[in-house]
Chain A
């Protein structure tokens, strides 16, 4: 089955640019929690050689010299824009798997009669027009290859106009292309694995693709064997990726039998959160956003429905209870009766180090209910942060600095854009 991987270009920066056109063509970075490091860089900033994760204090001189605009992460905005983008992408295929805040796989089974490159261009055009986010589209027979095709589209290594379809290229062209791409660019091949592979003489994508899968399985893992198979066009990777991904934690499962009611879906989602939260604590991280999604069986001849929702957390947390509440809140919003759900899943996104946890003067959530409600109502009208916990002001070292945050353009009435 042909698969497309669509992802946003410099997603956080692009979100900011939709509502602040002055940022177009200017070097922009978005900073992580506590205005710590660059978590998103515009192409202009990348061209200046700034690497992902560069601490802001290290960049200040460069910023002054080149007029780099630095913004604090505006999670509420990015979550909303992501939800919009994913909803638009869902129009292009009933088989959609949201992979992260700005990436999505689309299964293109049954679309083979179409010119897929044209289709990819339509996807780009619609997302750019409807939501304002520029995206690239990679098309291939497996997820691993689709991700690679997307990379080629984005860096202009193959394809054109932000769309790259590997099925349009000859075996020879692909070999040549793969020989020019580092093995570390492959989905699932991280820094450590790259080092080990290079030691074995595997330094390009082509090297890995033509390597002996069995030997790799014995030396490394079955996951790498699957990656090699995928590079050769044999699909085997499910969305539940075995390789622990520090940037996000996904927990999902297809159901043994179809689920129709909300209650069992709630139980499933709660259990996935529990699993994911355990992994989260295990790796010493906090999650800033929760994503929840449900879908029917795309291969069944029945009414289709798939929706996902990204929910920003008021503060990054590893508390199962809080994460569950957020996920269930999202689930209630996306659930519709009358569908045979085959799969549900959650993802914990925007992971940060637990060492930077904000201390709270209050005890566990139960006692905070009424207070939280008042705070929520006031913050909904006047903007997040209007009312904060006293702890934010007392322990300066713990205070989450977001001094350069743009307005919550789409989630707060008091902060919508002004037109004259």
Chain B
């Protein structure tokens, strides 16, 4: 029987996965009724899809928090930053990953390794928290 498979739609979209092959018709599987969705990392790691972004870590300032050079961070902008959470902050126009420590008057952006500076943001200075870091993905 001639193959009915069509070439999958080829749309050059950066970073987006190509569609799977077409599903062949055939007899129904006895397992069909029990089919459950395979585990998805997306579902596990991402709570607020629209507000979740990925960033890449450079440097060793946060190794104490299990965040290493080259790691991928899952950042959620929808969450209100809580005291002691690791966040992405904007300092002098650049992104930095630090632990947010709320003080009496201001905020301390704490790094997680010796030899790396903490950043003190006083009460009257502007602090922009870009998002809360939920996961760090480290390749072995």
Residue of A nearest to B57 (CB): A419
Instruction: Report chain B residues within 8 Å CB of A379.
Output: 12, 14
Q: A373-B18, A419-B73 are in contact. Are A76 and B9 (CB under 8 A)?
A: no
Q: Give the chain A neighbours of B59 by CB distance below 8 A.
A: 420
Do A129 and B128 touch (CB < 8 A)?
no
Interface segment among A40-48, A179-187, A405-413: the answer is A405-413
Contact A375–B55 (Cβ < 8 Å)? no
Q: Which residues of A contact B95 (CB under 8 A)?
A: 21, 417-420
| B16 part of interface (Cβ distance < 8 Å) | yes
Among B15, B57, B58, B88, point to the contact of A408 (Cβ < 8 A).
B15
Asked if B7 is at the interface of the complex by the 8 Å CB criterion, the answer is yes
- Give the residues in chain A near B97, CB-CB below 8 Å: 419-420
Contact between chains at B55 and A130 (CB < 8 Å)? no
* Known contacts A419-B56, A419-B57; A21/B90 CB under 8 A: yes
Nearest B-chain residue to A409, judged by Cβ? B53
Prevailing SS type, chain A contact patch:
helix
Assembly CA distance A311 to B61 (angstroms): 38
Whether the Cβ atoms of A384 and B96 lie closer than 8 Å is no
Interface centre among B14, B57, B90, B130 (most CB of A within 10 A): B14
| Cross-chain contact A76 with B77 (CB below 8 angstroms) | no
Taking CB atoms and an 8 Å cut-off, the chain A residues in 87-138 that contact chain B are: 87-88, 129-132
* CB within 8 Å for A129 and B78 given contacts A21-B93, A21-B128, A416-B72: yes
What is the bound-complex CA distance between A85 and B56, given in angstroms?
A: 23
Decide if A53 is an interface residue (CB 8 Å cutoff): no
Task: Find the B residue at minimum CB distance from A383.
Answer: B14
Count of A-B contacts judged by CB separation below 8 Å: 120
A312 at interface by CB-CB < 8 Å = yes
CB-contact partner of B15 in A314, A412, A419, under 8 A:
A412
Given contacts A22-B93, A129-B78, are A417 and B56 in contact (CB under 8 A)?
Answer: yes
A130-B77, A419-B57 as given contacts; A312 in contact with B13, CB under 8 Å: yes
Q: Does B31 contact A (CB under 8 A)?
A: no
Shortest beta-carbon distance from A358 to chain B in Å: 13
CA distance A379 to B48 in the complex (A): 27
Is A376's CB within 8 Å of the partner chain B? yes
B14/A411 in contact, CB under 8 A: yes
| Given A325-B9, A368-B10, residue A418 in contact with residue B16 (CB < 8 A) | no
Query: Could you say which of B50, B59, B130 has the most chain A C-beta atoms within 10 Å of its C-beta?
Result: B50
Q: Tell me which of A21, A369, A376, A416 contacts B56 (CB under 8 A).
A: A416
Residues in A with CB closer than 8 Å to B61 are 420
Does A237 reach chain B (CB closer than 8 Å)?
Answer: no
Give A324-351 as 1s and 0s: 1 = Cβ < 8 Å from B's Cβ atoms. 0110110010000000000000000000
CB of B11 within 8 A of CB of A314, answer: yes
Contact mask B20-63 → A, CB, 8 Å, 1/0?
A: 00000000000000000000000000001111011111110100
**Interface assignment of B19: CB less than 8 Å from any CB of chain A:** yes
User: In the complex, A314→B14 CA distance in Å?
Assistant: 9
Tell whether A222 is near chain B: CB-to-CB under 8 Å. no
CB distance from B33 to the nearest CB of A (A): 16
A76 lies within 8 A of B56 (CB): no
Assembled-state Cα–Cα distance A287/B65 (Å): 47
The interface residues of chain B lying within 8 Å CB-to-CB of A377 are: 18
Rounded to whole angstroms, the CA-CA distance of A24 and B128 in the bound complex is 12
Query: What chain A residues lie within 8 Å of B19 (beta carbons)?
Result: 329, 332
* A-B complex: 7 closest residue pairs judged by Cβ atoms: A22-B93, A130-B51, A314-B12, A372-B10, A411-B15, A419-B95, A412-B15
Interface residues of A (CB under 8 A from B): 21-22, 24, 76, 84-85, 87-88, 129-132, 311-314, 325-326, 328-329, 332, 365, 368-370, 372-373, 375-377, 379-380, 383-384, 408-413, 416-420
With A375-B12, A416-B55, A420-B96 already in contact, 20 other A-B pairs whose C-beta atoms are closer than 8 Å = A76-B13, A129-B77, A130-B78, A131-B51, A311-B13, A312-B13, A314-B11, A325-B9, A325-B10, A332-B19, A370-B7, A372-B10, A376-B12, A380-B16, A383-B14, A409-B53, A410-B15, A411-B15, A411-B16, A420-B97
5 contacts between A and B (CB under 8 A): A131-B50, A311-B11, A416-B53, A419-B55, A420-B59
